[in-house]
Amino acid sequence: MKYLINLSYDGSKFYGYQIQNKKVTVEGELEKNLSKIFNEKINTIGSSRTDRGVHALDQYAHFETNKYINPKKLTHSLNSMINPSIYIKSIKKVNDDFHARFNVVKKVYIYKINMGKYNPLEKDYVFQYNKNIDKDLIDSFINIVSGEHNFKSFTSDTNKSDYMRNVTLSYKISKKTLYIEVSSSGFLMYMVRNIVGLLIDLNDKKKKISDIENIFKSESRTSLGRCASPEGLYLNKIYFK
């Protein structure tokens, strides 16, 4: 039988989602504690492999076992054992053909930027840019980057067979915090952080709006500048077919 876990976590406390030898990771914590509960080796498959420092409000992972435990009791047991920077929102049984990664139809990320004074209490959760970003610049940037493009320039991963992605960007500003929402059916490694990094470079006059078209055409990460830091990034929502 197959179970689906819905979880959230504070990414600042982990070396990313994916399991790593001798590192504390979200996947590692999940598998360690599930294996204790079921008294067998449990392997999980996550919907998204978030980087070190990246947070998740709506992550999913599935696992298989021949043993049955009531999902509500399992949720309670796992929460009582697991690292407190992870919260298991729910666990449910799913069909055997369900896959936490391949059944995803859309992922939504949010990137938070503090445009006001430096806030040391938020340094692990909101990027402390501490400068205003021009609203007209944001509008122009979003109009150009949204849509279907070859995003090879926005990733350091050179082993993909397809770099075409259809991306939707939107934003809001509240109390000097800029919230950038980026959604797509799939993302490349560091893609969202590189998109945000380009916006910041534009605001810092290191790049020009007219450069964006050539950046796409170059299909080279070297045409970009900074990669935005991970602490402002949140996996906000995942949708399944």
Q: Is the pLDDT of residue 159 over 90?
A: no
Q: Do domains 2-94 and 104-240 have the same CATH topology?
A: yes
Give, in words, the CATH class of 2-94. Answer: alpha beta
Q: What is the pTM of this model?
A: 0.95
Q: How confident is the model at residue 171 (pLDDT cuts 50, 70, 90)?
A: very high
* Per-residue pLDDT band at 65 (split at 50, 70, 90): very high
Any idea where the domains of the chain sit in the sequence?
2-94, 104-240
Reported as a single tens digit per residue, the pLDDT across 109-119 is 999 999 999 99
Radius of gyration of the chain (CA): 19
Q: 182 and 168 in contact (C-beta within 8 Å)?
A: yes
Instruction: Label residue 158 by pLDDT band (50, 70, 90).
Output: confident
Cβ burial of 232 (10 Å; 0-12, 13-18, 19+) is buried
Q: How far apart are CA 120 and CA 122, in angstroms?
A: 5
Report which residue type is found at 45: I
Active-site option among 51, 124, 201, 211: 51
Q: Is 51 a catalytic residue?
A: yes
- Taking residues 80-90, what's their average pLDDT? 98
> 13 near 107, Cβ under 8 Å?
no
pLDDT tens sequence across 175-205: 999 999 999 999 999 999 999 999 999 999 9
- CATH architecture observed for domain 104-240: 2-Layer Sandwich (3.30)
Whats the size of the chain, residue-wise?
241
